[in-house]
Amino acid sequence: MQAWMRARQSVFRLLPVLVALMPAGVPACSRGEPHVEGAIPIALERVALVVQESVPAAPISSENDEFGFARAADLVFDGDRMLVLENGNDRIVRLDEQFRPEAYFGREGAGPGELRGAMSLAVWQDLYAVSEGTNARVSIFRSDGAFVRSLAVPHGFTEVQWGPDGSLFVCSYDDRNYFLRGDTAGPWRPFAERPWDLYPEEFRAMFRPIIHGDVQFVVAGTGAVHVYDEMLGSLVEYSPTGQRVAVRRLPQRILDGLIEQDALVLGDFGGDTRRARPGITDLSVTDDGRLFLLFPNVGAIGLLVDPRTNRAQAIKWPAEADQRYGGFGGVIRNGLFFRHSSDDVRIFKLIPE
């Protein structure tokens, strides 16, 4: 499982993210750089949270057996029911309040109601939206499993999110904006232009800068859109109309750790460790309005950032944590941490260090 997780992360690290276009002597990110003009520093609180495994003690699977999920790609909630997107089976698995499978939506294919390369799942009211990397579209289902429609997405993408008004957001590879925004009737329009004025001059001077990779973002209940930008090591906030509101830079100690972790992954796959960047694996919003950044290593889970106070609390594994606890996705809900790997879902309590 850890090997698969590292391979997944390396796909995004080793895609042409400046590597093919940036001069050889220019690192994608280095410690203490770049200086982000006007960024709000996020202060790290002294007391961290440590996870403690909760109930059920056994990991949650798609068939309630020992075989686990077939490459779980995403985890979200619809009310009190957990939804897990299975990339290997190209379907949505919905579990009841006791985490037992109660419904399955979708099947492998390219036709109506079929999924191929399922990557991201989002819920709004009674609608489920699934991003399909292979089919290059978003497919929408009702919560009873009925297929609604599919929306083609240009340029390729990974993440999909709903806005509180029913608008849809997908990450954009159009070379200029973070996202495309539309609704169930279309069309897609550019949304949230990247902060080009804050990027290093070498990057801005390139003839045709292309940014590929996994764009981690979340839409809050207020309609504000938060995106994590690896180039800046910062959270960038946009208004519901797409105007940049704030840039919040992560604590340097956190960024240094993320860069070191990415360098290890790049080294494992023969990449240039000088191009290591402070990547994260997931970004979500908690039920109390904080942003949860999930990290790609086992030693530290992630960071809880309150955009109202610009303060953050670190979340850590205990020193004796089993390596199988690592994963690449998860959410915090009602004080519990729901972590998914490719194989299963585990639930943990959060307690003060």
Contact present, 87 and 71 (Cβ < 8 Å): yes
Peptide bond into 34 cis (omega under 30): yes
Phi, psi torsion values for 230, nearest 5 degrees: -65, -30
What is the number of H-type helices and E-type strands within the chain? 3, 28
Contact present, 177 and 209 (Cβ < 8 Å): no
Could you tell me which of 296, 232, 302 has the C-alpha nearest to residue 268? 296
350: its two tokens: 């959060």
pLDDT by residue for the chain (353 residues), tens only, comes to: 333 333 444 333 333 233 323 333 334 444 445 567 789 999 999 999 998 877 666 778 776 555 578 888 999 999 999 999 998 889 999 999 888 889 999 999 999 999 999 999 999 999 999 999 899 999 999 999 999 999 998 877 789 999 999 999 998 777 688 889 998 877 899 999 988 888 877 766 664 545 544 679 999 999 999 999 988 999 999 999 999 999 999 999 999 988 988 888 788 888 888 878 888 989 999 999 999 999 876 567 899 999 999 999 999 888 776 655 666 789 999 989 998 888 888 888 999 98
- 149-167 CB burial, b ≥16 within 10 A, e <16: ebbebeeebbbbbbbeeeb
- The amino acid present at 154, given as its one-letter code, is P
Contact present, 214 and 230 (Cβ < 8 Å): no
What domains does the chain contain, in order, with CATH numbers?
2-60+154-352 (2.120.10)
